[in-house]
Amino acid sequence: MSKTVKKALQLLDIFTEQKPYWKLDEISTFTGVPKPTCLRLLRTFVELGYLKKMTFQQEGLVIDGESYGLGLKFLEMGERVAGRFDIRPIAYPYMKKLQEQFNEAIQLITREQDEGVYIEKVESTLPVRLYTKVGRHAPLYAGACPRAILAYLPEGKIQEILDKPMTKYASQTPLTKEDVLLLIKQIRESGYSYSDSELEEGTASIGVPIFNSSGAVQYALSVASFSTSLPRAMADHFVGPLWEAAAEISKKLGYNHPYPYGKPIAMKQT
């Protein structure tokens, strides 16, 4: 990758939900890219629609164009990417049904290299909701939904992922290869993954695998809530309906074998 392209992508990568707006000086200091180079790249991104200059009011004064934020071009690109995931319209009706049954957040993720990416979510109607949003990335070793994918990868790929350094996100994030391998064994035996305070403190989730036409697990489905609403002791209350939904979604993706967990689902194609 050329140095110019690398610097350009480095600039775009700093715009996050936590800090969506940056000034030129902040960008240069944070990225280490010289201010003249930053300015040149920012002007190009604004011209192409990837960034826009922001106007704010502060203490009654209009502050015009001092900060940059992501432009509409990224919204267009995001819609194009989302359109590639044919599983979303397939899974959504089942996710909506689960949300109506439990009134908890229902999440769908896919594997992208060594990470899980949240590609669909049906929110709870409760006044206090979870932080997770579509587009979020998470390591495959942490969180119920990502680990429900990790557990069914080829052994060599699992070893490769777990040989890399692990990051602590919350108090219960598994941080050793041995801990994750034990969790993987439990997932394969029980058919579901459980997490509590692994990616976000005080949140819990239950994830189950979704099988594609080749029998691989590229996606996973989960119910997520606060730890007080989703203790491990209540897993049986949620996991049956999750299996049923995952089985139906797997079937519609072309998986022609009985779903390996829970009540057998008829394999008649619809």
Q: What is the CATH number of the domain that holds 18?
A: 1.10.10.10
Residues 98 and 206 occupy one common structural domain: yes
Confidence of residue 125 (pLDDT cuts 50, 70, 90): confident
Instruction: Residue 150: give the domain boundaries.
Output: 85-252
What's the pLDDT score for residue 68?
87
SS (H, E, C) 28-87: HHHHCCCHHHHHHHHHHHHHHCCEEEEEEEECCEEEEEEEEEECHHHHHHHHHHHHHCCH
SS3 124: coil
Instruction: Tell me the per-residue pLDDT of 31-86, one tens digit each, with 9 for 90 and over.
Output: 888 888 888 888 898 888 888 887 655 555 445 557 888 888 876 776 555 555 57
Q: Has residue 270 got a pLDDT over 60? A: no
Domain harbouring 123, CATH code = 3.30.450.40
Q: Which residue type occupies 74?
A: F
Give just the sign of the alpha carbon dihedral 156, 159, 165, 168.
positive
Decide if 267 is inside a domain: no
Decide if 266 is inside a domain: no
Q: Over pLDDT 90: what percentage of the chain?
A: 53
Instruction: Tell me the per-residue pLDDT of 150-204, one tens digit each, with 9 for 90 and over.
Output: 999 999 999 999 999 999 999 999 999 999 999 999 999 999 999 999 999 999 9
What's the pLDDT score for residue 62?
47
The total number of structural domains in the chain stands at: 2
Instruction: Tell me the per-residue pLDDT of 24-36, one tens digit each, with 9 for 90 and over.
Output: 888 889 988 888 8
Q: Has residue 116 got a pLDDT over 60? A: yes
Query: Looking at per-residue confidence, does 131 or 29 come out higher?
Result: 29
Q: Which residues, listed in sequence order, are joined to residue 110 by a DSSP beta bridge? A: 117, 219
Token representation of residue 151: 């557990």
Residues 65 and 17 occupy one common structural domain: yes
Q: Which residue type occupies 55?
A: T
Mean pLDDT across the chain: 86
What's the pLDDT score for residue 120?
92
Q: What is the pTM of this model?
A: 0.69
Token representation of residue 262: 């829970």
What's the pLDDT score for residue 268?
40
What's the pLDDT score for residue 21?
85
Token representation of residue 83: 């359109």
CB 224, CB 194: distance < 8 Å: no
